[in-house]
Amino acid sequence: MKRFDGKTVIKRLRPDERKRILVISDIHGHLPYFEGILQKAGFRSDDILVIDGDFLEKGRHNLATLRRVMALAAGGNTHVICGNCDGWHLIFDMTPEEDDQMLAYIKYRGRGLLWEMCLENGIDPQGLEHFTPVKGLLRERYADEWSFLRSLPHAIETDKFIFAHAGMDPGLSLEENSVEVLEHTDALMEKGFSFDKWLIVGHWPVMLYGSDIVSANPVIDREHRIISIDGGCVLKDDGQLNCLVIPDANSEDFSFEAYDCFPVRKVKTPQKGVGRSYYIRWGDSTVQVLERGEEFSLCRHVRTGYTMRILTKYLFSDGEFTDCNDCTDYVLPLEAGDEVSVVESTSEGWFVKHKGISGWYYGELE
Ligand SMILES: [Mn+2]
C-alpha cells in the first residue's frame, strides 16, 4: 500500500480567540474512552476540538468511533488529522496481490475497521480467500466514510500551533515535510528538535520516554516547544486517553484531563517510595526467566541485567528467554487518603496509577 507517497495536505485555521482548544490523539477505536474524556474535559459546542490522528485501529469500536468523529467534524468545530492508522481509503490504490496481503493482516489482527465493515455486511473475514471482491462491495457501502478519510489533512496550522500526528522536520517548511515524517516519526522527543510554533503530537506513547518511572500524562517541553500527548490508550494495560486543554488560541497556559476505566480506591496506609526502579518496555523487553512462579516470576532484563519480579501472565512465552508486557517495579510514594486507580490486584499488592504514574502499592486500600 502506498501509504506515505501522497502529497502533504495542510489545513490552516484561525481559531476564535475566545474559544478553548481541546486536543485528543490516539483514540485507536476505543469509543468508551473517547466519550469518557470528552465528558471529563467538559467538551461543549463552543470549544474547538482537534483530533490529532490515529482515532482508528487496534481497539474494538472502529466503525462507531469513525462515525462519531465524522458527526463531530460535520458540526464544524472539530478538526481531524490523518494518523498512520487512519488512511484506510488507500486500500483502493492497492493491487489484487496487495489485497491478499491485507486480508492476511486483517485475519491476523481479528479486529479493525475493515474487519468491522465485513461483519456489518454479514461477511466473516476469516472465511475469505481473496479480498478484492469484498473491497468493491465496501467501496460502495461506505462511500461517505472513504470520502471523509480521504479529506483529512496531515497537519493543521494556526498562528501559534502546529498539530501533526507524529512529528515534523524543523529544517523544512510544513508543506515540504513528507506524509511519512508527519504521520510516522517515532520517538520525536528524542531527536533534539526545537520548533518556532508549538508542535503538538501523539503517536508515540509517552510512557516510552520514561526509563525508571512510568507516566501516561502529556509531556510538555517548553524549551523545544513540543507537546506529546499519547497516553497509551488501547496499547498499554495501564494506558489512558489524554486531552490537552489550551485555554485559547494565544495561550501557553496548558493543562490536561485524563480518562481511564480503572476502579478508583483510597490509600489507607502511607507508603514510602523506594529509590531504585526500572521500566521494561516495548521494543526492549527481552528477559531471562530465572525462577518461574505461578503468579510472579523472577526475571533478568537481558540488555541491562536488571532483575525484577514480573507478573507471570505478562511473559509472552514459556521459554527461558521471552519478551514481556511493559512492566515496572517502581514503588509509589503515597499518603493516606490518596486516590489510586487499580490496574492489577495481586496476592502481594496492588499495581496502581496515581496522577498518571504507575507503580506498586503494598499497603491497604479503603
Ligand atoms: Mn500513530
C-alpha to C-alpha distance for 215 and 236, rounded to whole angstroms: 12
Q: For residue 344, what is its C-alpha cell?
A: 492489577
Which position has the grid cell 490523539? Answer: 25
What values do phi and psi take at 288, rounded to 5?
-105, 125
Percent of the chain clearing pLDDT 70 (strictly above): 99
Whole-number Å distance, alpha carbon 81 to ligand 1 midpoint, is 11
Side chain identity, residue 6: G
Residue 342 pLDDT > 60: yes
Quote the pLDDT of residue 212: 81
Residue 101 pLDDT > 60: yes
Whole-number Å distance, alpha carbon 329 to ligand 1 midpoint, is 28
Whole-number Å distance, alpha carbon 3 to ligand 1 midpoint, is 13
Helix (H) or strand (E) holding 78: strand 78-80
Quote the pLDDT of residue 4: 62
Quote the pLDDT of residue 98: 94
Whole-number Å distance, alpha carbon 238 to ligand 1 midpoint, is 18
Q: Residue range 318-336: average pLDDT?
A: 95
C-alpha to C-alpha distance for 236 and 281, rounded to whole angstroms: 10
Strand order from edge to edge, sheet including 350-354: 214-215, 357-361, 350-354, 339-345, 264-266
Query: Taking the model in full, what pTM does it have?
Result: 0.93
Whole-number Å distance, alpha carbon 25 to ligand 1 midpoint, is 9
Whole-number Å distance, alpha carbon 83 to ligand 1 midpoint, is 6
Q: Residue range 319-336: average pLDDT?
A: 95
Question: What's the chain's average pLDDT?
Answer: 95
Which structural domains are found in the chain, ordered by start?
A: 10-87+152-259 (3.60.21.10), 265-361 (no CATH)
Quote the pLDDT of residue 119: 97
Whole-number Å distance, alpha carbon 87 to ligand 1 midpoint, is 11
Whole-number Å distance, alpha carbon 89 to ligand 1 midpoint, is 16
Whole-number Å distance, alpha carbon 154 to ligand 1 midpoint, is 12
Whole-number Å distance, alpha carbon 23 to ligand 1 midpoint, is 15
What values do phi and psi take at 242, rounded to 5?
-95, 150
C-alpha to C-alpha distance for 90 and 66, rounded to whole angstroms: 16
Residue 274 pLDDT > 90: no
Whole-number Å distance, alpha carbon 233 to ligand 1 midpoint, is 12
Secondary structure (3-state) at 163:
strand
Q: Which of 201, 200, 208, 363 is nearest to 273 (CA)?
A: 363
Whole-number Å distance, alpha carbon 357 to ligand 1 midpoint, is 22
Quote the pLDDT of residue 2: 53
Q: Residue range 293-318: average pLDDT?
A: 96
CB 198 within 8 A of CB 253: no
Side chain identity, residue 232: G
Secondary structure (3-state) at 258:
strand
Cα atoms in the 13 Å half-sphere on the side-chain side of 172: 12
pLDDT digits (tens, 9 = 90+) for 114-134: 999 999 999 999 999 999 999
